Amino acid sequence: MGLANYFFGWNGRIGRLQWWLGGLVQAVILAMVAVLFVTGAGTKNFFLVVFSIPLLFIALWFGVCLTIKRLHDHNKSGFWFFLYFIPIVGIIWQLIECGLLRGTEGDNDFGPDPRFRFNVSDDIEALLAARDQGATSHPRMAMPRAPVAQPLSLAPAAAARPAFGKRV
């Protein structure tokens, strides 16, 4: 997930730590907005007041997108966000659900588990496949391979028996 989708999009899932870190970025932007607005209003600087309003909407959009992605981690639709508009109860529920509770384990309707996003097994398999494909096209670049042992030939009756619970 890119940084633009992390802050501006609502597709995908994020974990609790990512939600808290995004909330920290949102809090820093809101603090900047407050300083700009108070400074602009105190000095009657129209530019600072006008500049702080779009920053306020950007920070609010960050919060909405982060919370919707966190709801996706619980396998809930983004429409559950409207529950947080209930006074007092909504804010408490948002902090508990998004900040404290673990999301659904494994893949869900909104994507893979964010805790296992750094699984490199697919990347390793792709690199091995590229190496094998490159070895066939460039014989000089081929890596020496260990000889492969040939399987033992089994009698027909022995081949039909299960081995470790599976049919061979």
Q: List beta partners, residue 163.
A: 166
pLDDT at 164: 42
Inter-axis angle of helices 46-73 and 89-99, nearest 10: 60
Distance between CA atoms of 9 and 78, rounded to whole angstroms?
A: 12
pLDDT at 46: 83
The secondary structure element, H or E, covering residue 31 is helix 16-43
Please list the pLDDT of the chain residue by residue as tens digits (168 residues).
Answer: 677 777 788 788 888 888 899 999 999 999 999 999 888 888 888 888 888 899 999 999 998 999 998 998 888 888 888 888 899 998 898 889 888 988 888 788 877 777 765 555 666 777 788 888 876 555 555 555 555 556 555 555 555 544 444 444
- The region that residue 147 occupies, defined by phi over 0 for left and psi between -120 and 50 for alpha, beta otherwise, is beta
For the entire predicted model, the pTM comes to 0.62
Whether residue 13 contacts residue 114, with contact meaning beta carbons closer than 8 Å, is answered with yes
Tell me how far CA of residue 136 lies from CA of 71, 144, 149, in angstroms.
47, 12, 21
pLDDT at 143: 54
